[in-house]
């Protein structure tokens, strides 16, 4: 199997701070990869480099065989990289429907077929369980539902790689169960890179887990391997139960 995404020596410094520090990562097509690590470990910065929000200080990023290190963010979206940010970024004044219709329009070549936009938007809303709320104002949704709307906005781009940054923050236990099923369904035709503090979600979903600590990869392995790793226990897992729930 060839990797869909690889990073080589990927680094991002903010002044003297090495937020991401020489990360080598290879993500297989179809994989669900969790990235975990303590607050400030560099997780959000790392995915910001992949989606092109910031340029790296050094290192390379290859997606589907193409070096995308210097590619602008909007072209990465066209290559199939979609992301939902840790901070909710829905358009609060627009309807739930319009929030999803906008990214659908980006995927259509003519951008004007109302039938295709409607179908794409409703399909994405259905997948996250928000179809019945299509006409509500997005800003009126509960915080957790706004996060699900963001996932729908990502899905509307028909991504090959979907990056989710703490998507379960603010979801109830029942909603988290639905979310786990949703990510499994998404992974049937996309690769998922999931930053997540909730260890139940991580352990149930991830094929492999990468642990970041102080900008570096501390460990990588299956959920069972990571659970058994003493260094991970010391750096993170010992406190993750409280932090994640
Ligand atoms: N734009 C920025 N300018 C300066 N420092 C930054 C910037 N973005 C992130 N940092 C710093 O880089 C480090 C890594 O931050 P990052 O947000 O990537 O961590 P994280 O692993 O996502 O943490 P959390 O679990 O709290 O979301 C932190 O020390 C943070 O303060
Ligand atoms: Mg973060």
Q: What sign for the dihedral angle of Cα 158, 160, 166, 169?
A: positive
Residue 110: the pLDDT is 63
Residue 244: the pLDDT is 42
Please give the Cα distance from 187 to 181 (Å, whole number).
10
Res. 245 pLDDT band, cuts 50 70 90: very low
> Hey, what domains does the chain have and what are their CATH numbers?
1-80+160-245 (3.40.50.300), 89-158 (no CATH)
| CA proximity to 7, closest of 156, 21, 38, 18 | 21
pLDDT, tens digit, for every residue of 96-155? 999 999 988 877 766 567 788 999 999 999 999 999 999 999 999 998 899 899 999 999
Please give the Cα distance from 209 to 42 (Å, whole number).
15
Tell whether ligand 1 has an atom less than 6 A from the beta carbon of residue 39.
Answer: yes
Q: Which residues contact 228 (CB under 8 A, 6 or more apart)?
A: none
Average pLDDT for 182-205: 94
Q: Which residues contact 131 (CB under 8 A, 6 or more apart)?
A: 122, 125
The strand pairing partners of 35, in sequence order, are 195, 210
Res. 243 pLDDT band, cuts 50 70 90: very low
Nearest CA to ligand 1 atom 28: 40
Q: Which of 42, 55, 167, 213 to mutate to test the pocket of ligand 1 (most atoms within 8 A of CB)?
A: 42
Nearest ligand 1 atom to alpha carbon 197:
25
pLDDT, tens digit, for every residue of 33-86? 999 999 999 999 999 999 999 999 999 999 999 999 999 998 999 899 998 876
User: What CA dihedral angle connects 167, 173, 174 and 178, to 10 degrees?
Assistant: 30
Residue 240: the pLDDT is 54
Please give the Cα distance from 47 to 28 (Å, whole number).
16
Tell whether ligand 1 has an atom less than 6 A from the beta carbon of residue 244.
Answer: no
Please give the Cα distance from 45 to 49 (Å, whole number).
6
How many angstroms is it from 190 CA to the middle of ligand 2? 22
Do 20 and 46 meet the contact criterion of CB atoms below 8 Å apart?
Answer: yes
How many angstroms is it from 40 CA to the middle of ligand 2? 7
């Amino acid at each position: 199997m060839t990797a869909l995404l690889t990073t080589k020596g990927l680094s991002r410094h903010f002044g003297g701070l090495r937020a991401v520090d020489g990360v080598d990562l290879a993500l297989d097509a179809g994989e669900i990869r969790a990235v975990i690590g303590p607050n400030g470990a560099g997780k959000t910065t790392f995915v910001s480099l992949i989606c092109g929000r910031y340029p790296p200080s050094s290192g390379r990023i290859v997606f589907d065989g193409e070096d995308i290190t210097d590619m602008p963010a909007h072209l990465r979206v066209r290559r199939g990289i979609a992301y939902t940010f840790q901070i909710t970024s829905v358009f609060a004044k627009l309807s739930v429907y319009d929030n999803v219709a906008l990214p659908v329009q980006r995927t259509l070549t003519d951008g004007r077929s109302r039938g295709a936009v409607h179908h794409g938007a409703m399909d994405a809303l259905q997948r996250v369980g928000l179809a019945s709320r299509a006409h509500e104002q997005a800003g009126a949704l509960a915080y957790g539902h706004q996060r699900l709307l963001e996932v729908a906005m990502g899905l509307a781009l028909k991504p090959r790689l979907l990056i989710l940054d703490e998507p379960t923050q603010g979801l109830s236990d029942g909603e988290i169960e639905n979310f786990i099923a949703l990510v499994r369904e998404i992974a049937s035709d996309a690769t998922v890179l999931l930053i997540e503090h909730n260890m139940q979600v991580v352990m149930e979903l991830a094929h492999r887990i990468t642990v970041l600590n102080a900008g570096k990869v501390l460990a990588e392995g299956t959920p069972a391997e990571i659970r058994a790793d003493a260094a991970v226990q010391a750096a993170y897992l010992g406190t993750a139960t409280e932090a994640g729930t």
